[in-house]
A and B are shown apart, each in its own frame.
Chain A
Amino acid sequence: MNKRTSQLLALVGVGALALTACTSTGGSTTPEASPGEAVSSAAPPAEKVDLTFQSLSDQPGAIAATEAVVKKWNAENPMVQVKIVPAGWDGVYDKLVTQFAGGAAPDIIHYEAASVIPFALDGYLADMTPYISEDMKSDVNQGIWDSVTVNDQIIAVPTELQSYMVFANTKMLKSAGITVPTGDTLKWDDFRAMAKQATTGGQFGLGWGLKSPTATFMSLGLGNGGVYFDGEGDTAKVVIGDGELKLPNEIMAMNTEDKSLEPSTLTQSGGDVLAGFYAGKYAMTVQGSYQAANIAKDAPEGFEWAVLPALEGTKSAAQSANPQTLSVNIDSKSVEQSAAFVNYFASAENLAALNTADALIPASKAARDLIAEQTGGKDGWTEILASGDHLEAAPFMKVPNYTQWKDTVATPAFQTFLAGQSDADGLSKALTDGWTQINR
């Protein structure tokens, strides 16, 4: 009996040893990286450094542009070699969460401001403030810097921005007796009237892919003064008033009163809606500005289209700036070299090449001017670049629980509203109650 107990004990002991072995390898032992003193260009390191750069570029042109930049850098900096690790936008948030938690995150991280801020708040991103060149600092407007600043630290360098633009089938507009609008901005009421006028005999005025509606409402809502959040950080509150409800209500009115909005597009993604746009099912569609590149490439022969001026709400033509960003992992073995690469990447020529390929708006003025010059404003570039002046930092980006609220509360609530299953009161109740529920 005694023997059996001791053997059992031995067995448990072996198991426990194995377990402790397990846990001790589980924790990461990466040393704390210090931000270092202010340096504009990093001195070459004594030993060869290999950096990983997780890039999310998915357009063939943008992939080529990114590769070209990296190739040039690697040729100029033999001691600091950058390797691209391609990843996709889908599921990259979850991927970064596990990469950071497992201590396996890349040195240089490509993402977007709104989604990368939670990682900064969790302490995973290096402070870039000392590394950013003066030229870059003054060439990007303050609204955009605000969108990547957390606790007075710049945690990412903005590279590409998008705005929501109206794309029009000019042939259909003309045949409905509408002159294609020009000018700096397009008032929402004029836009709505145009959509109504263009709705004739089986054709709709507008197709709007609102399958994932939250980003659209957060961004275009700014033009009506719809900011959704009051305050910053953990004490922020969701506030739904007339400004916030204006855009959802207008869209529902176009759907149910004017009947100028193709209802099934409301549950489709932007890309799905483009197919119907090419097929002439609707005269206009609201899309991310980057779709200009796809339309220029994919539209059927003889398809006449234009990008209309930026939409103007009741207050302004503002949209939220949610730039794509490059950040540096705070646990990277060489934060300084990584930051130097990011600086290099964000030069005017590099940003211009990348943004031209993606049909996005560069964060820096110099790169914007370069694109205007290179493209001559064709394929909607004049309107798209002009909309860049209206981009501002939006309050939702400074709220740590925004992503969770967006996924579990806002997106379902907006979808329910757009499906006609709840009214404006139901929507605002769902949005505010959901926020309370998340922050219990």
Chain B
Amino acid sequence: MTDTAVRPPVTTRKKTTTIARTERREAIALVIPATLPILIFSVFPLINGIVLAFTDATLRRNVESNFVAFDNFARLVGDTMFWESFRIGLVWSISVTVLQLVAGMGLALLLNADLRLKGFTRVLALVPWAMPPVVVAIMWKLIYRQTGPLNAIVSAFGGPTNTDWLANFDTALPAVIVVGVWVGMPQTTITLLAGLQQVPMELHEAAQVDGANAWNRFWKISIPSLRPIVAAITSLNFIWNFNSFGLVYVMTEGGPGGRTMLPMLFTYLEAFKSKHLGYAAAMGLVLVVFVLILMSFYLWSQFRKDKD
């Protein structure tokens, strides 16, 4: 469409086509170095993974894998353990994403306010981001320990002294969710802070003159202008959280009693403990498709609102 719109007049056609051809050749030469890594490191593994999902591949020695069509998926339908982990994964990713947004918004508003030591507190808010997930997980394991600081605080307020937060069936999932929120907050905060700074001061001033209080200004000015950013960061957060692995793997390995068995953990166990590569690939594919559907629905509804 755009091609025809900018097509030059007929008289100079021959000359420009040669130019266009050289340009095109140059473009291709420039694009190939960027495309090759994508093909090799992203597209190929993706296709490989999709193909694997339709085979009975295992990690046995010198075993040829066979094409089994939809057998893996048929088996997956009746796999109650997988669907249970799917449910846990949804609880985990939805609560972490929502809490991240709420807490990140609060922190962003605070950091956006003209307070003293602004530069220092902004750097401080980034600290969780600077730590590798495994270090974060080990640190929180120490906090949640029976003899750890959390129990000391709880018992100082008269609570029980020896809750084993990560081993207790009722507290394990909430406990890892808190860590998930903590570790993911910097991204959300920084993105929202950047968004808040884009909101023109004039709007706030005008509203203030019209007698709008802080709450109204936040709700009527900040939130609507932030909508595309909120939509982007929540959908990214959701994908990251749904696929999260390292944090929970180090903290609980899916325990106790499978209470924190996120779908990615379950898939990992299926692939590298049970060595059912094909079946695990099918699980991965289901997860990808699920996230895609959910995301397209969410983004579609968000941007439809924007158009209105």
Question: Do B255 and A419 have beta carbons less than 8 Å apart?
Answer: no
Question: Do A211 and B167 have beta carbons less than 8 Å apart?
Answer: yes
Known contacts: A122-B61, A408-B81, A415-B257. The answer to whether A19 contacts B273 by CB under 8 A is no
B78 neighbours in A (Cβ, 8 Å): 440
Q: Considering the chains assembled together, what is the distance between the CA atoms of A244 and B265 in angstroms?
A: 30
Q: Considering the chains assembled together, what is the distance between the CA atoms of A71 and B255 in angstroms?
A: 42
B59 within 8 A of A: yes
Question: Do B269 and A122 have beta carbons less than 8 Å apart?
Answer: no
How many interface residues does B have (CB within 8 Å)? 37
Query: Which of B40, B58, B78, B272 has the most chain A CB within a 10 Å cutoff?
Result: B272
B198 neighbours in A (Cβ, 8 Å): none
Q: Considering the chains assembled together, what is the distance between the CA atoms of A100 and B28 in angstroms?
A: 41
Contact code string B237-270 (vs A, CB < 8 Å = 1, else 0): 0000000000000000001111000000010010
A2 within 8 A of B: no
B217 within 8 A of A: no
Q: Considering the chains assembled together, what is the distance between the CA atoms of A440 and B59 in angstroms?
A: 19
For window 4-35 of A, CB contacts with B under 8 Å fall at: 4, 7, 11, 14-15, 18-19, 22
B44 within 8 A of A: yes
Question: Do B272 and A123 have beta carbons less than 8 Å apart?
Answer: no
Question: Do A124 and B39 have beta carbons less than 8 Å apart?
Answer: no
Question: Do B255 and A411 have beta carbons less than 8 Å apart?
Answer: yes
Q: Considering the chains assembled together, what is the distance between the CA atoms of A254 and B248 in angstroms?
A: 33
B4 within 8 A of A: no
B62 neighbours in A (Cβ, 8 Å): 123
Known contacts: A268-B164, A421-B169, A437-B79. The answer to whether A404 contacts B32 by CB under 8 A is no
A39 within 8 A of B: no
Question: Do B146 and A14 have beta carbons less than 8 Å apart?
Answer: no
Taking chain B's interface residues, is the majority helix, strand, or loop, or is none over half, making it mixed? loop
Question: Do B146 and A415 have beta carbons less than 8 Å apart?
Answer: no
B275 neighbours in A (Cβ, 8 Å): 97, 118, 122
Q: Considering the chains assembled together, what is the distance between the CA atoms of A207 and B63 in angstroms?
A: 47
Known contacts: A401-B274, A419-B256. The answer to whether A97 contacts B59 by CB under 8 A is yes
Partner pick for A407 among B35, B63, B273, CB 8 A cutoff: B273
Closest Cβ of chain A: how far from B146's Cβ, in Å?
7
Closest Cβ of chain B: how far from A33's Cβ, in Å?
11
Residue of A nearest to B38 (CB): A15
B155 within 8 A of A: no
Residue of A nearest to B166 (CB): A267
A330 within 8 A of B: yes
A211 neighbours in B (Cβ, 8 Å): 167
Q: Considering the chains assembled together, what is the distance between the CA atoms of A413 and B256 in angstroms?
A: 9
Contact code string A373-417 (vs B, CB < 8 Å = 1, else 0): 000000000000000000000000000010110011001110110
Question: Do A97 and B36 have beta carbons less than 8 Å apart?
Answer: no
B61 neighbours in A (Cβ, 8 Å): 100, 122-124, 330-331
Question: Do B44 and A440 have beta carbons less than 8 Å apart?
Answer: no
Question: Do B164 and A123 have beta carbons less than 8 Å apart?
Answer: no
A14 neighbours in B (Cβ, 8 Å): 32, 36
A42 within 8 A of B: no
Question: Do A15 and B273 have beta carbons less than 8 Å apart?
Answer: no
Residue of A nearest to B17 (CB): A3
A93 neighbours in B (Cβ, 8 Å): 273
Question: Do B40 and A18 have beta carbons less than 8 Å apart?
Answer: yes
In addition to A19-B39, A19-B44, 11 A-B residue pairs with Cβ atoms within 8 Å of each other are A4-B24, A11-B35, A14-B36, A97-B59, A100-B61, A122-B59, A267-B168, A268-B146, A412-B258, A415-B257, A437-B80
**Which chain B residues have a beta carbon within 8 Å of chain A's beta carbons?**
21, 24, 28, 32, 35-36, 39-40, 43-44, 58-63, 75, 78-81, 146, 162, 164, 167-169, 255-258, 266, 269, 272-275
Q: List 14 interface pairs A-B (beta carbons < 8 Å), by A numbering.
A: A11-B28, A19-B44, A93-B273, A122-B59, A123-B63, A264-B164, A330-B61, A331-B61, A408-B266, A412-B256, A412-B258, A419-B168, A419-B257, A437-B80
